[in-house]
């Protein structure tokens, strides 16, 4: 889109506010808005200044001046603003170096995409994340020195079946039985449908939506696959739409990986494939699960670097409440067809050359709290490293594992490696294993160090606070 075309569209739609959005290092949208009169061609070319020191993980106070450069191809009418507003995603630039800011996550995704193309391994990568979330009717928490608590509630929750409130019908969902029930058990059908229609209007193709396994309001909306940069932009738009539609209905959308104990957590299983023009490089009719050698090497890269990858793909302390055995959590470092207990699953819905375009690998440990720009870029870099080094997961003893790994005999289970059990453990791994991320300057040492330091602080602050369950265990000691 040219600036002239955008200006014509702004005029025809009566736009009066331009909302400039950019992503911080955590993976959260930030924004500032301009009157349409201030959004001229100079603003598009030279950018709009802002204070980078006020954005967590960006700049220090003595180097705070930063610039936002709008990507006008991302312009979308914002459906949640009363005043006609155009939303535009921006790239962050350093005005002194006159180049894209190395800590801008969107810049990292662009560099990863360029690195793939320059490698000649593939011309494009495609991504299809399955982002899960919870919708609660009540959510509150306190973190005072003398009072730590949280309360979550959903009308679907089994704990409300015996409630004494007026008009209680007892129509709820049992734990782990939330997958595909029809209304009245599924109370969120119309709300998800509303989210889907707004996503489609935004320009996000949606394949399906449904209730997920966890009983109290867990949902999933599946976006159609797309290229790396497009999909990472769409994940942020997806969250924005879900949260705002939820608020409209007096609900709160939570993208925490494990908000409810005793039920399934929310993951973001990421489907990915490499293409050369119109050819899917992951398909080979003769291979295991119709996988090519390229796909196997890509899997080898993911599994070889899995501990370090999780520092970006499962980047919160709460992520490791989800990554525990059972609850369909992919804790086993192995690959397999159809097996949801393995870290890498090969979907097998259809087979044969006619369905070669659908062949892909699904990396299951990531969750919805990740920064998709950093997580997807890290996965791609690990896969490329696997292809370059020909890391065959079969020869590495990482599968295929076509068994329910939760029910293996003890001796056999001991041979299957599990993912690390804490945020600090994966940060340790990232400190030791990050060379594959630095190739081609995609990630920088500065960005990795900034990420590790920020996440160490988060882990420390969680670790030093008592939890209610500790009082349950130890108050009578």
Active site residue 158: no
Packing angle of the helix pair 228-248, 105-119 (nearest 10 deg): 150
Q: For residues 312 and 463, give the distance between their C-alpha atoms in angstroms, rounded to a whole number.
A: 20
Residue 436 Cα to chain centre, angstroms? 21
Active site residue 174: no
Which of 269, 274, 268 lies closest to 227 in space, CA to CA?
274
Q: Catalytic annotation on 51? A: yes
Of the residues 91, 156, 220, 385, only one is catalytic, namely: 220
Known active-site residue 407: no
Cα pseudo-dihedral 175, 143, 425, 218, rounded to 10: 30
Clarify whether 456 is annotated catalytic.
no
Catalytic one of 340, 389, 460, 465? 340
Catalytic residue among 91, 263, 362, 385: 362
Identify any residues that bridge with 77 across adjacent strands, giving them in sequence order.
86
Query: What b/e string do you get for 17-40 counting C-beta neighbours within 10 Å, with b at 16 or more?
Result: bbbbbbbbbbbeebeebbebeebe
For the question of residue 31 being annotated catalytic, the response is no
Selected catalytic residue, list 132, 233, 290, 307: 132
Residue 23 has φ and ψ, to the nearest 5°, of -100, 135
Given 113, 130, 233, 290, the catalytic residue: 130
Q: How far apart are CA 372 and CA 124, in angstroms?
A: 17
Concerning whether 63 is annotated as a catalytic residue, the answer is no
- Provide the strand spans (E) within 48-176: 48-51, 65-70, 76-77, 85-94, 99-100, 124-136, 138-144, 147-153
> Among this protein's residues, is 269 annotated catalytic?
yes
Distant-in-sequence, close-in-space partners of 457: CB < 8 Å, separation ≥ 6: none
- CA separation for the pair 259, 265 (Å, rounded): 7
Q: Which one of 212, 263, 284, 290 is the catalytic residue?
A: 212
Q: Which of 5, 38, 51, 449 is catalytic?
A: 51
Cα angle, residue 440 at apex, residues 435 and 441 outer, rounded to 5°: 80
Distances (CA, A) of 225 to 104, 230, 407: 23, 9, 33
Catalytic member of 269, 271, 322, 345:
269
Task: At 363, list the tokens.
Answer: 């990396």
Q: How far apart are CA 401 and CA 416, in angstroms?
A: 9
> Beta-carbon neighbour count of residue 420 at 10 Å?
22
Residue 210 annotated among the catalytic residues of the structure: no
Catalytic residues: 51, 130, 132, 212, 220, 269, 340, 362, 364
């Amino acid at each position: 889109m040219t600036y002239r075309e955008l200006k014509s569209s702004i005029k025809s739609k009566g736009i009066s506010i331009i909302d400039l959005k950019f992503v911080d290092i955590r993976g959260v949208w930030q924004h500032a808005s301009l009157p349409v009169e201030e959004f001229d061609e100079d603003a598009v070319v030279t950018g709009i200044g802002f204070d980078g020191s006020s954005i967590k993980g960006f700049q220090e106070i003595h180097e705070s001046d930063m610039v936002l450069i709008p990507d006008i191809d991302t312009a979308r009418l914002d459906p949640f603003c009363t005043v006609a507003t155009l939303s535009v995603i921006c790239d962050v630039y350093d005005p002194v170096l006159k180049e894209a800011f190395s800590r801008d996550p969107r810049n990292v995704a662009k560099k990863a995409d360029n690195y793939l193309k320059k490698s000649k391994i593939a011309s494009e990568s495609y991504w299809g994340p399955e982002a899960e979330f919870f919708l609660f009717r009540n959510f509150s928490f306190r973190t005072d020195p003398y009072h730590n608590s949280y309360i979550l509630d959903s009308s679907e929750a089994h704990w409300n079946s015996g409630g004494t409130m007026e008009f209680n019908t007892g129509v709820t969902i049992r734990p782990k039985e939330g997958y595909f029930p029809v209304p009245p058990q599924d109370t969120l059908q119309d709300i998800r449908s509303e989210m889907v229609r707004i996503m489609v209007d935004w320009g996000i193709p949606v394949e399906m939506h449904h209730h997920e396994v966890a009983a109290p309001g867990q949902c999933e909306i599946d976006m159609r696959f797309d290229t790396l940069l497009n999909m990472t932009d769409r994940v942020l738009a997806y969250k924005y739409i879900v949260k705002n539609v939820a608020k409209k209905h007096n609900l709160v959308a939570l993208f925490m990986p494990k908000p409810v104990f005793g039920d399934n957590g929310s993951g973001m299983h990421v489907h990915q494939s490499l293409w050369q023009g119109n050819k899917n490089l992951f398909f080979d009719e003769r291979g295991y699960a119709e996988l090519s050698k390229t796909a196997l090497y890509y899997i080898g890269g993911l599994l070889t670097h899995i501990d370090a990858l999780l520092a970006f793909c499962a980047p919160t302390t709460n992520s490791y409440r989800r990554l525990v055995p059972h609850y369909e959590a992919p804790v086993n470092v192995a690959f397999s067809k159809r097996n949801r207990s393995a870290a890498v699953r090969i979907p097998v819905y259809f087979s044969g050359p006619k369905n070669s375009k659908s062949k892909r690998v699904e990396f299951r440990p990531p969750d919805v709290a990740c920064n998709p720009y950093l997580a997807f870029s890290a996965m791609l870099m690990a896969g490329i490293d696997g292809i370059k080094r020909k890391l065959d997961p079969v020869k590495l003893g990482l599968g295929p594992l076509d068994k329910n790994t939760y029910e293996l005999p003890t001796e056999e289970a001991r041979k299957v490696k599990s993912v690390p059990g804490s945020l600090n453990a994966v940060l340790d791994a990232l400190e030791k294993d990050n060379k594959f991320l630095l190739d081609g300057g995609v990630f920088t040492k500065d960005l990795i160090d900034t990420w590790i330091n920020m996440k160490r602080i988060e882990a420390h602050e969680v670790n030093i606070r008592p939890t209610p369950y500790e009082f349950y265990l130890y108050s009578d000691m």
